[in-house]
Amino acid sequence: MTNESENLKGRKVFHGELALLVAVIIDSLGVVLMLYSGSGISAISSVPYAFSEVLPALSLGTWTYIFQGLLILSLMIMRKKFVPSYLLSFVVGFVFSELLDVHELWINILPSNLPMQIVYFIISYILICIGIALSNRCGLPIVPTDLFPRELSDITKVGYPKIKIGFDVTCLAVTGIMTFCSLGHLEGLGIGTIVAAFTMGKGIGIAGDILDKHFVFQNFKPLQNLAK
């Protein structure tokens, strides 16, 4: 009891359910805002974006949850077993995907000029870092694109930062090849995409450290068990 009191001292309780909700909302906004900034789309959404450009019959949101479904399937194959929490993660990913389409409906009302584009990129970068840091601490099934590198790190026993960077770079490579071969030019990739891919692992770590200094993450036990 004493140790628990010491751990809580000076820090506020952040309920995992709320953390997950906030993470899904700001992550989806961050992805769309980064694309709107003109600096390129975030690495985790670059592959679905490429499909939405090459095969525009389906929206970015629809291609996103198709991509997320493939990530979940890949994890189960690597685990060689059925993992119920992965399916719940797909449900969270579906909500994330739908929010991408919602944000795309209103994002064009924002002013678009060079100074504001720089501001949009900075805000989007910070939002995504905070969102993923919250996801990693909520204790609940999370968006598959965030879940995949975390679980792959656990499966392979390779450090998360290396896995995260490798995953992001692979997504960018696939996006580049798809759009160049199908459209004749690179689409969705920009300096912001590259910067984010090679630095976001560190940014997530910094955001996580800040959150840990101010909050203790707890959730309801019945929901907590779903993440196991």
Position 70 scores a pLDDT of 93
Residue 11 is predicted with a pLDDT of 83
Q: pLDDT tens, 205-225?
A: 899 999 999 898 887 654 445
Q: Which residues of the chain have pLDDT under 50?
A: 1-6, 222-224, 226
Whole-angstrom Cα distance, residue 37 to residue 102? Answer: 17
Per-residue pLDDT at 2: 44
* pLDDT for the residue numbered 221: 58
**Nearest-angstrom CA–CA distance, 187 and 67:** 18
Residue 107 Cα distances to 33, 110, 123, angstroms: 7, 6, 14
Structure confidence by residue, pLDDT tens digits, 152-175: 998 999 987 788 888 888 998 999
Q: Which of 203, 80, 71 is closest to 131 using CA atoms?
A: 203
In sequence order, what are the residues at sequence separation of 6 or more whose Cβ sits closer than 8 angstroms to the Cβ of residue 38?
112, 117, 190
